[in-house]
Structure 1
Amino acid sequence: MKFDMGRAWSDAVAMLTANKDLVLIMGAVFLFLPSLMLAVIAPGTELEQAAQNPDAMQAAFAAYMAENWPVMLVYGLASTIGTLAILALLGRSQRPTVGEAIGIGAKAVLPYLAASLILGFLIGIAAVLVGVAAATAGVAVGVILGFVVVILAILLMIRMVLIAPVMAIEDKLNPIAAIKRSWSLVKGNTRYVFAFMVLLIIALIVVSMVLGIIFSLISAMAGSGEVALWIDGILSSLMGAVFSLLFLAIYAAIHRQLAGPSTETISETFD
């Protein structure tokens, strides 16, 4: 089946429209509020100040994580569970209740993190091999191999883009099985899915730049201090939550198109 970008976009919009009330509630609880909590409790001002110096940035990041790891842990778990729950809500033919969707997300969070670690490990091994090749064969070879690894990593991430939908929608909680399933679903459509994601990211970058200018003006009017921190946190968290919901609907729509009708839908057709 050839991937249809227009159909994926239409399906994503239809999913969000059909489930808007529940999606907005879950997006607020699991995406907006954790992001706002992180922005207010652990704003990361030191990281912004050290961004221009790689050495200072590394030290600042280590200090930031050492001080704020409990907040980061809560944020990561909440947003991951929410992501999987929203995918279940959007993608399952028999729509679960909010409680059931949250249960699905909680059950899938550890397998999803395990699959992410496996992919990160594979990319890390490739980067180490490139470093060894650069040290033994020369910088030029290392640069070429590094470029190849980046391309392969991008292709790998495109092939793996459906891991979360596979776990949340199909209930495949074995990390290896979910990786294989995502690989097989995207196979043959990698370039189309890649092009679609690139176009979507470019569009969202343009929108975020425009909104960023508007938000900066609003924050500047608030001055500095606690009020400005809250305003900046609310605006940035709101934009992040909206973009995340859009991406989740896109992932669910891609899965629906490439996976075809679920077994529940087929059985309903013949009942």
Structure 2
Amino acid sequence: MKLNYMQCWNGAMAIFRDHKEAILAIAGVFVFLPTLLMAQFVGQPAIDGGEDLNAVAAAYSAHFSQNAVAIILSNLLISFGGFVIFMTVARSHSGTVADDLSKGLRLFVIFLLANILTGLATFAGFMLLIIPGVYIACRLVLVPIIIADQGERNPLESLKTSWYMTKGNGFSILLFILIIAIVGAITVSVAQMIVGVIVGIATSGEGWALIDNLVSALGSTALQLLFTLIIASIYDQLSQNNSQVGDVFS
């Protein structure tokens, strides 16, 4: 059964409405705050755009070496926050945010291992060509919500389940996510530009780094939440499709 884009979008919005208080609380603490702190106090490597590839790689390597602890910790917090949101919106969810955090901690290592396996599979696809890598990533996009909803403790099984559930919909998922990514990125960029112009006028062209970083962190958090909701909605739709097929042949 083919993915229904409108059903997925409406499903994502419905999921947000049903769980918005918990979603916003978790995202605020574990996604927005680390993103803002990293932007404000760590920042990005100093690159002016004129460097060659080796110089860019060296700059990023030096930046990571100097800020390794902060970068690793922030990424772990952001990943944990995203995973707990999957726990919150999963169909099997029952309990409070504290329950979701506790369950998320118990399954977080499984989630990380599954992400590593997904990354290796995607990298293998990219070694062939770009399209196979992106296709594999889309076929494995349901891994986090499968672990969250089904409590799967075998990382490899979660990859197999995602691969099975997305059969026949790999390119449909790719196109849908691509549309969301492009529209979302444009929206965030326009918002940042408007705020930048306003702040520039208010400060006589000097700007205000905190406001820029605040808007950037909000945009990044909003995009991550959107993709999380979309993935959860895709999972719900494909789960219903699979169950309907099972009913027919049972």
| Alignment TM-score > 0.5, same fold | yes
Listed as ranges, the gaps of 5+ residues in structure 2 are 244-250
C-alpha separation in 1, matches of 2:204 and 2:67:
26
1:200 aligns with 2:180: yes
Q: CA deviation at 1:262?
A: 11
1:159 aligns with 2:139: yes
On the 8 A contact 2:3/2:169 being kept in 1, the answer is yes
2:67 partner SS: helix
* Cα pair distance change 1:217/1:95, threshold 3 Å: farther
Match of 1:143 in 2: none
The RMSD of aligned alpha carbons is: 2.4
1:210 aligns with 2:209: no
What do residues 65-93 of structure 1 show as CA deviations (whole Å, max 9, x unaligned)? 11111111111111111101001111234
- Greater Rg by CA: 1
Match of 1:14 in 2: 14
C-alpha separation in 2, matches of 1:198 and 1:167:
24
Q: Decide which of 155, 158, 181 is 2:161's aligned counterpart.
A: 181
C-alpha separation in 2, matches of 1:215 and 1:51:
27
Q: CA deviation at 1:222?
A: 4.2
Match of 2:80 in 1: 81
Match of 1:55 in 2: 54
* Cα pair distance change 1:223/1:251, threshold 3 Å: farther
Q: What number of residue pairs does the alignment pair up?
A: 242
5 Å-filtered alignment, 1:106-185, equals: 106-125=105-124, 149-185=129-165
Letter in 1 for 2:177: M
Listed as ranges, the gaps of 5+ residues in structure 1 are 131-147, 264-271
Q: CA deviation at 1:232?
A: 1.4
Identity %: 25
1:234 aligns with 2:222: no
Q: Decide which of 234, 240, 245 is 1:260's aligned counterpart.
A: 240
* Cα pair distance change 1:164/1:224, threshold 3 Å: farther
Scaled by the length of structure 2, the TM-score of the pair is: 0.88
